[in-house]
Structure 1
Amino acid sequence: MTSLLDKRRAGVLLHITSLPGRGECGDLGKEAYNFVNFLHDTGLSVWQTLPLGMPHGDGSPYQCLSSHAGNPALISIDWLVDKGWLNINEHCGECHAGHEFIKSCLITKAFYGFQTMADADELAAFFQFCQDKASWLDDFSLFIALRNLFAHKSWSQWPEALKQRNAEALSEARHLFKDVLESIKFEQYIFFRQWHELKEYAGQKGVLLFGDIPIFVSYDSADVWANRDVFKLNKDGEMDVVAGVPPDYFSEYGQRWGNPHYDWGYLQKTGFKWWLDRIKSQYELFDILRIDHFRGFEAAWEIPAEEDTAINGKWVTAPGGNLLRAIQNTFPLLSLVAEDLGIITHEVEALRDDFHLPGMKILQFAFDGNPRNPYLPMNYPTNCVVYTGTHDNDTTLGWFENLNDGDKQRIYDYLGWPSMPMPHSLINAAMASVANLAIIPMQDILLLGSADRMNTPGTIDGNWRWRFEWSQLSNDKVSFFSHLVQMFGRSGN
């Protein structure tokens, strides 16, 4: 079977929130279509984003309130105006809780317009969406309604009857919040409508959409609240162990993510239904899907919940082979990528290779002086995805400027291009490599420094906010990148 990842391709890493435009973050409006046009015109055939879920207050797309629902902040308000469901002069002056809340308020107003002005086909499409997604949408809408009622407190702090999902309490809440639940479902309907329209347009332009699925889900999420048996929780619904990673390149103390671990025994007994449902939601959105923290499918780092850091954890094995087999049998056309960074063992590599999944190669990790370093281009297999850096790395220019002279010289000795400045030389190396897919962060195409990085692991403030402007993308930058796409045969044809 031919995979989308068997051809030489190139693409760009840019999250939707980083698109230019009005408001506090990018959305699925005209600038998303303009970005598809830029990719097409440059010869690029892949757009990689970060997860599309609804984040908590820190804005991290890797800690979301649902593994199925889309982020309402990405909805284009202009699209609703164009549909005639929202007055162009509408505003919400009584809301003072930040951009996302104001946007939700406008979407609620658009729902009133939808109910009075939509034709029969539109109304039927919304009804069908609610039916098709009921397995997660019913719980999610109630979860959000209750979370708003209880001032965004975690479900573990709700009144006991709702926390423990007492049937009578849930029934009463669904009755009391009937209109609110419909509005939340409409919000999701609009997100998926807008995304599928963008996906269809991208397909017409020959651009594949490349998504990202975090291996773990947030404890404070509809997933955990509604699917307690899937996770390792005690009788009170609390976590005795949490997820993370041991000390590595990014942190000397490791990373204590705080996510719940899976009860793999329960998942295996149910044929991994919860996981397959989760993959199905992502498969509808993307052509290619990266499994974040893939090594957790072989073994995951369990940290006692009372520990403040990730140092005192242990590896606990997982039935990743059985899960991947179930995923491939159910979704044979889905192209998966393994995020195989960090502490990778022979067992993890074997799991990846047994299922012929491309791994990731990060050029910023390559130049430690070891000729066997797996991130050096001369050591790549063709079945991999090469990056100059990821959303967790500094920009390539920022990374290089923070190196000492000896490290810089070693990099130029390997690349052989002392006259080609950074980040051009590292981009060139990625594009020239044998890796089937080369992905370049937008910051590197724009030649930006450390002030424009997307995320600094282990920190909370100032992340996930970066946006670009079209004025930063000069004709020279586009021509340089387009030239590399053609010269190294990465048009995807």
Structure 2
Amino acid sequence: MDQEAVPRGQATLSPVETIISFRFLMSFQPRSSGILLHPTSLPGRYGIGDIGPNAYQFVDFLRDSHQQLWQILPLGPTGFGNSPYLSYSAFAGNPLLISPDMLAETGLLTAKDLDKIPTLPTDMVDFDRVRELKTPLFLKAFQNFRKQEPSDLHREFDEFCGQKSYWLDDYAFFMALKDAQDGASWHTWDDEISRRKPEAMKKWQEKLSEEIFFHKYLQFTFNRQWANLKRYANEQGIQIFGDLAIYVAHDSADVWSHPEIFCLDGETGEAALMAGVPPDYFSESGQLWGNPVYNWDRLQQNGFDWWVHRIQSMLDYVDLIRIDHFRGLESFWAVPQGETTAMNGEWVNAPGEDLFHTIEEKLGRLPIIAEDLGIITPEVEALRDKFELPGMKVLHFAFDSGRDNPYLPYNYTSPNWVVYTGTHDNDTTVGWFNNRSLKQQAHVTRYLGYLGEVLNDGIHWDMIRLALSSVANQAIFPLQDVLGLGSEAKMNKPSTAEGNWAWRCEPGLLTDEIGDRLKFWTDTYGRAPR
């Protein structure tokens, strides 16, 4: 993928149009496939993938290889550790994904502004250096925007601010305050502003009016660029498959502005009950995420309004929604304040059925997929099946037990699944296979139908073919598997705070030969567009 410009749309689909397009896809094209790739992993000269020209070229690659789905991770602005699952907002977009090239196309930056871009790594994201590079460019574009005579762009901005005020006002204020507090977490701010006392709110809003305006501008720019990319993808027959992190970060605009819907310590503002999971496949001591769990009683009393707004807002960004850690909507693992691992928690019931009934009543039946991995009980399965939500099957999990393993394709009881070779939390397929013992490798290759050496295509293509050939309606594979990359290309190592989310696809790796091979196997197993 190079830097050539490609045609771009000017608007996004409405939520109603999104739902209709999803139903068309599911009703008339039930077998489809796609690639998991977060936009930060795209190539590009700014040290991070963004939603500029290379994103459009990736859409073209998906179209030409007969893929119909582009799955991404959560799009929110990230904080410490750069995890998309610990965002400063459940509604906002990540400004680091804004494309300077697209800003230049609108006249808010000049070619001269982009001439002296320093050389940054192409194989991984150095988030700190990217912020140092992009922030001055965004400030300059903002200043130019402010200087412009009133135009259609300004009218769009005003409309955006009005339509999104229910989350945008608090988010922009939160980010401006956070900058003024040198990045400190909101619960350590002076009591008057951390608890949103009216006099303090008014004083800080006046003091930070320009900074608040800047953060609103960044969100407008992100939304405008993303809407154009999504529209282009939809025009090419590509659906955006988004990821909704069930929890939000403690240090977020959501918790600061709506503390009543989270389980917080009334004196310190810290999480009184923290989210996580008990010991599982990924960690012997469990995973302690640190997010505050929800005060479901208060949410239910309010008609789940915050959740309804969240789902509705996400449909501005994506066509399909995967709810990460779906089981937490039936019952969730709550760890008391002060614990350092997730081992000493307890399961607490959640009103998932009432939540989904409310969402359907207010928004209609939506394109939601359940991430039903980990410790899954009959009650979780019943909630998933009551609302006919597709679940997930991960082939990396299929070979560590007997013939009744539910991840083995011959055990799929219906086509209502999304099958993956692996996810962002897994090793790459090549890394996964190479790290297995010889006996474990033989177990995999026997199932795949041959003995001895892996076929010339490589284990990654064998597993991709296995996913494509399954009865599951949708098949997804990380781009690292399409490229046949090893463990060095892992996106995330669960239960580790640093060194994740940095992998990037280097320029030139997505060749015509790879696209043609993917197209051939996609066609062979009946997943091509009709």
Partner of 2:123: none
| Displacement of 1:436 | 0.2
Match of residue 264 from structure 1? 296
Matches of 1:322 and 1:417, distance apart in 2 = 49
Aligned equivalents of 1:342, 1:17: Cα separation in 2: 27
Quick check: 2:64–2:515 contact (8 Å CA) kept in 1? no
User: Corresponding residue for 2:525?
Assistant: 488
State the AA in 2 paired with 1:401. Answer: N
Q: Counterpart of 2:203?
A: 172
Query: 1:207 & 1:312 partners in 2: Cα distance?
Result: 44
Q: Which structure 2 residues correspond to residues 85-100 of structure 1 after superposition, within 5 A?
A: 85-90=108-113, 98-100=129-131
Aligned sequence identity (%)? 46
Please state if 1:153 is matched with 2:184.
yes
3-state SS of paired residue (1:58): helix
Matches within 5 A, 1:282-361: 282-332=314-364, 334-361=366-393
Query: Which residue in the other structure is 1:462 paired with?
Result: 499
Instruction: Give the total of aligned pairs.
Output: 491
Q: Does 1:138 align with 2:169?
A: yes
SS at match of 1:271: coil
Secondary structure at the aligned position of 1:444 is classed as helix
1:209 paired residue number: 240
Q: Using the TM superposition, give the Cα deviation of residue 119 of structure 1 relative to its aligned residue in structure 2, in angstroms.
A: 4.8
1:51-62 mapped onto 2 (5 Å cutoff): 51-62=74-85
Q: Give structure 2 stretches of 5+ with no counterpart.
A: 1-19, 118-126
| 1:71 corresponds to 2:108 | no
Distance (Å, rounded) in 2 between the aligned partners of 1:272 and 1:112: 39
State the superposition RMSD in angstroms: 1.6
* Of 268, 279, 282, the match for 1:250: 282
Cα distance between partner residues in 2 of 1:103 and 1:61: 19
Q: For 1:415-434, what per-residue CA distance to the aligned partner results, in whole angstroms no more than 9, with x for missing partners? A: 11445331111111000000
Distance 1:329 1:491, change over 3 A: farther
In the superposition, relative to structure 1, how do residues 377 and 448 fare at CA in structure 2: closer, same or farther (>3 Å)? Answer: same
1:14 aligns with 2:67: no
Contact map agreement 1:240 1:305 (CA 8 A) in 2? yes
Aligned equivalents of 1:377 and 1:239: distance in 2?
A: 41
Q: Single out whichever of 124-133 and 102-111 deviates more from structure 2.
A: 102-111
* Structure 2 Cα separation of the partners of residues 232 and 483 of structure 1: 51
Would the aligned equivalents of 1:417 and 1:425 in 2 still touch at CA under 8 Å?
no
Q: Deviations over 1:270-307 (max 9, x none)?
A: 11001111111101110000000000000000011111
Q: Which runs of 4+ in 1 moved over 3 A?
A: 1-6
Q: Mark the CA change 1:345 to 1:3 in structure 2 (over 3 Å): closer, same or farther.
A: farther
TM-superposed deviation, 1:405: 1.0
CA offset at residue 470 of structure 1?
A: 3.9
Distance in 1, matches of 2:498 and 2:88, equals 19
Q: Secondary structure at the match of 2:496?
A: coil
The gaps in structure 1 that reach 5 residues or longer are none
Task: State the AA in 2 paired with 1:406.
Answer: K
Cα distance in 1 for partners of 2:150, 2:366 equals: 35
Other-structure match for 1:387: 420
| Deviation at residue 333 of structure 1 after TM alignment | 5.2
Are the equivalent residues in 1 in contact too, given 2:261–2:295 (CA < 8 A)?
yes
| Whole-Å separation in 2 of the counterparts to 1:470 and 1:352 | 40
The answer on whether the counterparts of 1:210 and 1:288 sit within 8 Å (CA) in structure 2 is yes
* Residue type at the aligned position of 2:305: K
Shift of 1:118: 5.6
Whether the 8 Å contact between 2:46 and 2:133 is mirrored in structure 1 is no
Aligned to 2:472: 435
Could you tell me which amino acid in structure 1 is paired with residue 303 of structure 2?
G
Shifted more, 263-272 versus 468-477: the winner is 468-477
Displacement of 1:339 in angstroms is 0.3
Normalised to the residue count of structure 2, the TM-score between the two structures is 0.90
1:346/1:492 CA distance change after superposition, 3 Å:
farther
Alpha carbons of structure 1 residues 156 and 437: separation in structure 2 relative to 1, 3 Å = same
Q: 1:370 aligns with which of 375, 382, 402?
A: 402
Q: Counterpart of 2:466 in 1: which secondary structure?
A: helix
Task: Kindly provide the CA deviation profile for residues 32-90 of structure 1, in whole angstroms up to 9, marking residues without a partner as x.
Answer: 00000000001001000000000013110000000011000000011111111123223
Change (3 A) 1:3 1:475: closer
Identify the residue that residue 232 of structure 1 maps to in structure 2: 263
CA displacement at 1:106 relative to structure 2: 1.6
Measured after TM superposition, the shift of residue 329 of structure 1 is: 2.5
Shift of 1:130: 0.6
Residue of structure 2 in register with 1:448 after alignment: 485
Deviation, 1:480, is 1.7
For 1:273, the equivalent position in structure 2 comes to 305
Structure 1 residue 108 displacement after superposition? 1.9
Do 1:5 and 1:437's aligned partners in 2 also have CA atoms closer than 8 Å? no
Task: State the distance in 2 between where 1:290 and 1:384 align.
Answer: 12
Q: In the alignment, what sits opposite 2:141?
A: 110
Question: Aligned residue for 2:438?
Answer: 405
Match of 2:228 in 1: 197
Q: CA deviation at 1:462?
A: 1.8
Name whichever of 458-467 and 188-197 sits farther off: 458-467
2:420 alignment partner AA: Y
Q: Partner amino acid for 2:43?
A: P
Equivalent-residue separation in structure 2 for 1:232 and 1:343 (angstroms) = 23
